[in-house]
Amino acid sequence: MNLRPEIGLTFDDVLLVPKRSLIRSRSAVDTSTWLVPGIRLVIPIISANMDTVTEAPMAIAMAQAGGIGILHRFMPVERQAEMVAKVKRAESFIVEHPVTIQPGATLAEARLHMAQSGIGGLVVTDAAGHVLGMVTARDLLLAPQAEARVESVMTPRERLVVAGSGEPLDAARIKLHEHRIEKLPLVDSEDRIVGLVTAQDIVKLQEHPQATKDEKGRLRVGAAIGVRSSDLQRAEACVRAGVDVLVIDIAHGHAEHVTRMVQQLKQQFPHTPVIAGNVATAQGVQDLAQAGADAIKVGVGAGSICITRIVTGYGVPQLTALDDCSKAGKALGLPIIADGGIRNSGDLTKALAVGAASAMLGSLLAGTDESPGAAVVRDGRRFKVVRGMASLTANVARKEIEQQGEIEPDEWEKVVPEGVEALVPHRGGVADILHQLVGGLRSGMSYAGAETIDALHAKAEFIRITPAGWSESRPHDVNVI
Ligand code: XMP
C-alpha cells in the first residue's frame, strides 16, 4: 500500500488571498494565453469535446469570442471532417477556392449554383481557370431568359477589378471601397483565379476583433480523436479539412496506447499540434510530453457529469492535480489545460492561478444556444441535456455509430457507465456566458495584482478553508431573490 501523506484539494477547499494591486481597471488585464506553443487564445477557455457541447456552431462561437472549441469524435469521420471545414469556412478574408462557372453555362445553371453554395456571385473562368468575368445575383435578378448564357450578363474581365494573390488585407479593403464593389478576385501571374476577397468577410473580421484565427484569417478549431488505428484516418481527414489542433481524448490518458498515438500523430502530421490527456499526475505529464505532446489536459473524475471516482475509486481532487501537473508542465515548457469541475468564474480563476494555461468547460456551456440538441421544457422552464461521454446513452450511441445500426437490448446491459446524463438550464447565447466568465476572471486577476496569466501564476497565493469558511463565502443569512 502507498498512502500519500498530503490531502488532495479542490476548488471549494481554498480561496485566493488578495494581493496589493496596481491595476485600476479590469480592462487593463490581459487574459490571453497559449493553447499550445504557437496558438494564442485571447480568452483562456475551450469548449469540451462532448457531443452535448461542441459541434460546428459552438466551435465557431468559441473561436469568434477568442477561445476555441474542440469538436467531439462520436460521429462518423466524414461528418467530423465536414464540421472542421465548416468552421474553417465560417470566416476568412480570403476564400481559397471560389466557386466558378464557365461562360457558356445558362443563367438558370448560375442561379442554381449560387443557391446550392449559398453565395451571391460566381467567378467566370475557362476550363484552365483563367478569369473571364464575374456574375453576381444582381446580374441575374431581372434577366428575362433563363436559357441565356452567363457571358451575356457577366461583368467582363476588362471591366473587372482584380488583385494579385498576395494582396494584403488593407489594400484589398481600399480597392473594394474605391470601386464600390463587393468581391475582389485574386489572380496569379497568368490571370488564373487563386482566391477571392469579399466585403462581407472583411466586415465580419471587424465584428470579432478578438477571434482566434490562423494565418489566413480563418477561425481556428480542434478535433478530438481516440487511440484506435482507425483514429489515424480520422486524424488525417481532420488535418485535410484544415484542423488546427488534434486532441487525444481518453479518460485514462496515462497509458501506453496514448503515448504511442502521440508519437504516430507527430510522425504523420508534424505540423499539427497534439493535445493529449487526460492525466492527473506529474508523471502522466512527463510521459506524454516525452512522447511529443504539445499540451496536456488534466482532470480525472472532476467533471460535473463524471462518476469515474464512484465507479472505479480513482481520481485526484482537481486543484491538487492541477498543481502537480502545472509544475511538471512548467519545467517542460508545456501548457496545462484544466479539464472538468469548473462551475463559475471563481473556479476558473483558481484553476488558472494554480498553474493551468487554459480551461476546458463542459456543462457550463452545454445549456447555450450553440450546443447541439434542442431545449426541453420542464415545469415551464427551458433546459438542455448534457451527458458524460462514458454515460450509458453515449456508450450506446457510439456502438451504434460503429456498427452503423441499432444495437441489441442485451448490449445495453453490458455497458458499465462512468458518466451520467443530466439537464442544465438553457442560458441563451454562449457569448453572454463567456462575457460573465471572463469578467469574473479579469476581476480575479486584479485581486492578485496580475496583469497577465503568467503574473497570476507567479503571484497567486491560496489559503485552505474550512466548511465554515466556505459557508461564509456564499450568500448567507439572507433570502436570496
Ligand atoms: P465539466 O465539469 O466542465 O467537465 O462538465 C467536462 C469534462 O468532463 C469529462 N467527461 C467525463 N468524465 N465520465 C467522466 O469521468 C464521463 O462520462 C465524462 N464525459 C466527459 C471530460 O474531460 C470533459 O471535458
- Please tell me the predicted confidence (pLDDT) of residue 177: 92
Rounding to the nearest 10 degrees, give the CA dihedral for residues 447, 450, 455, 457: 20
Pocket mutation for ligand 1, best pick of 47, 50, 385 (most atoms within 8 Å of C-beta): 50
Rounded (5°) CA angle 463-465-471: 135
> Looking at ligand 1, which residue's alpha carbon is closest to its atom 24?
48
Between 158-162, 166-170, 210-214, 427-431, the lowest mean confidence (pLDDT) is in 166-170
Instruction: Inform me whether the pLDDT recorded for 384 exceeds 90.
Output: yes
Q: What is the Cα–Cα distance from 355 to 313, expressed in whole angstroms?
A: 26
249 Cα nearest atom in ligand 1? 22
Strands (E) located in 333-481 = 336-339, 358-361, 376-378, 381-387, 421-425, 462-464
Q: Are 67 and 212 in contact (CB under 8 A)?
A: yes
Q: What is the Cα–Cα distance from 29 to 445, expressed in whole angstroms?
A: 7
Instruction: Inform me whether the pLDDT recorded for 370 exceeds 90.
Output: yes
Closest CA to 100 of 194, 191, 190, 201: 194
Q: Residue 207: which pLDDT band, with cuts at 50, 70 and 90?
A: confident
Instruction: Inform me whether the pLDDT recorded for 264 exceeds 80.
Output: yes
| CATH of the domain spanning 11-90+211-473, picked from 3.20.20.70, 3.90.1150.10, 3.40.640.10, 3.40.50.300 | 3.20.20.70
Pocket mutation for ligand 1, best pick of 51, 68, 305, 348 (most atoms within 8 Å of C-beta): 305
Q: What is the Cα–Cα distance from 443 to 440, expressed in whole angstroms?
A: 5
- Please tell me the predicted confidence (pLDDT) of residue 36: 98
> Ligand 1 pocket, 342 CB below 6 A?
yes
The mean per-residue pLDDT over the stretch 197-205 comes to 85
Q: Residue 431: which pLDDT band, with cuts at 50, 70 and 90?
A: very high
> Ligand 1 pocket, 259 CB below 6 A?
no
Q: What are phi and psi of 337, to 5 degrees?
A: -110, 120
> Looking at ligand 1, which residue's alpha carbon is closest to its atom 3?
362
- Please tell me the predicted confidence (pLDDT) of residue 119: 82
> Ligand 1 pocket, 298 CB below 6 A?
no
Measure 47 CA to ligand 1 centroid, in angstroms: 11
What percent of the chain shows pLDDT beyond 90? 77
Q: Are 362 and 340 in contact (CB under 8 A)?
A: yes
DSSP 157: G
Q: What is the Cα–Cα distance from 327 to 285, expressed in whole angstroms?
A: 10
- Please tell me the predicted confidence (pLDDT) of residue 132: 95
394 Cα nearest atom in ligand 1? 17
- Please tell me the predicted confidence (pLDDT) of residue 169: 82
Between 119-128, 244-253, 396-405, the lowest mean confidence (pLDDT) is in 396-405
- Please tell me the predicted confidence (pLDDT) of residue 27: 87
Looking at the annotation, which residues are catalytic?
Answer: 306
On whether the pTM is more than 0.95, the answer is no
Residues in the chain: 481
- Please tell me the predicted confidence (pLDDT) of residue 299: 98
Closest CA to 453 of 28, 17, 30: 30
pLDDT digits (tens, 9 = 90+) for 18-54: 999 999 888 899 999 999 999 999 999 999 999 999 9
Task: Return the domain boundaries, the chain.
Answer: 11-90+211-473, 100-199
- Please tell me the predicted confidence (pLDDT) of residue 216: 83
Q: What are phi and psi of 127, to 5 degrees?
A: -65, -25
Pocket mutation for ligand 1, best pick of 322, 384, 389 (most atoms within 8 Å of C-beta): 389
Rounding to the nearest 10 degrees, give the CA dihedral for residues 137, 142, 147, 149: -60
- Please tell me the predicted confidence (pLDDT) of residue 215: 87
Radius of gyration over every alpha carbon of the chain, rounded to an integer in angstroms: 25
More confident residue, 406 or 442: 442
> Looking at ligand 1, which residue's alpha carbon is closest to its atom 20?
388
Find the helix packing angle between 199-207 and 169-178, rounded to 10°.
120
Instruction: Inform me whether the pLDDT recorded for 371 exceeds 80.
Output: yes
- Please tell me the predicted confidence (pLDDT) of residue 438: 98
> Ligand 1 pocket, 390 CB below 6 A?
yes
pLDDT digits (tens, 9 = 90+) for 281-302: 999 999 999 999 999 999 999 9
301 Cα nearest atom in ligand 1? 15
User: H/E element holding 471?
Assistant: helix 467-473
Instruction: Inform me whether the pLDDT recorded for 147 exceeds 90.
Output: no
299 Cα nearest atom in ligand 1? 22
Please give the CATH topology (third level) of the domain spanning 100-199: CBS-domain (3.10.580)
Instruction: Inform me whether the pLDDT recorded for 93 exceeds 80.
Output: no
Find the helix packing angle between 282-291 and 318-332, rounded to 10°.
40
Q: Residue 116: which pLDDT band, with cuts at 50, 70 and 90?
A: confident
> Looking at ligand 1, which residue's alpha carbon is closest to its atom 18?
388
Rounded (5°) CA angle 263-267-273: 80
> Ligand 1 pocket, 424 CB below 6 A?
no
Q: Are 207 and 199 in contact (CB under 8 A)?
A: no
> Looking at ligand 1, which residue's alpha carbon is closest to its atom 19?
388
- Please tell me the predicted confidence (pLDDT) of residue 270: 97
Query: In Å, what is the CA distance from 267 to each residue of 225, 232, 253, 259?
Result: 16, 11, 19, 12
- Please tell me the predicted confidence (pLDDT) of residue 480: 85
Measure 212 CA to ligand 1 centroid, in angstroms: 24
The mean per-residue pLDDT over the stretch 332-345 comes to 97
Measure 390 CA to ligand 1 centroid, in angstroms: 8
Measure 54 CA to ligand 1 centroid, in angstroms: 13
pLDDT digits (tens, 9 = 90+) for 211-242: 999 988 899 999 999 999 999 999 999 999 99
Instruction: Inform me whether the pLDDT recorded for 146 exceeds 80.
Output: no
Alpha-helical (H) ranges within 252-344 are 256-268, 282-291, 308-312, 318-332
- Please tell me the predicted confidence (pLDDT) of residue 25: 86
Residue 310 DSSP SS3: helix
408-412, long-range: CB within 8 Å, 24+ apart, which pairs? Answer: none
341 Cα nearest atom in ligand 1? 2
Q: Residue 142: which pLDDT band, with cuts at 50, 70 and 90?
A: confident
Instruction: Inform me whether the pLDDT recorded for 1 exceeds 80.
Output: no
DSSP 114: H
> Ligand 1 pocket, 395 CB below 6 A?
no
Instruction: Inform me whether the pLDDT recorded for 452 exceeds 80.
Output: yes
> Looking at ligand 1, which residue's alpha carbon is closest to its atom 8?
303
| Grid coordinates given for 69 | 472549441
Closest CA to 59 of 89, 37, 36, 26: 89
Measure 433 CA to ligand 1 centroid, in angstroms: 19
pLDDT digits (tens, 9 = 90+) for 299-331: 999 999 999 999 999 999 999 999 999 999 999
Chain mean pLDDT for the chain: 93
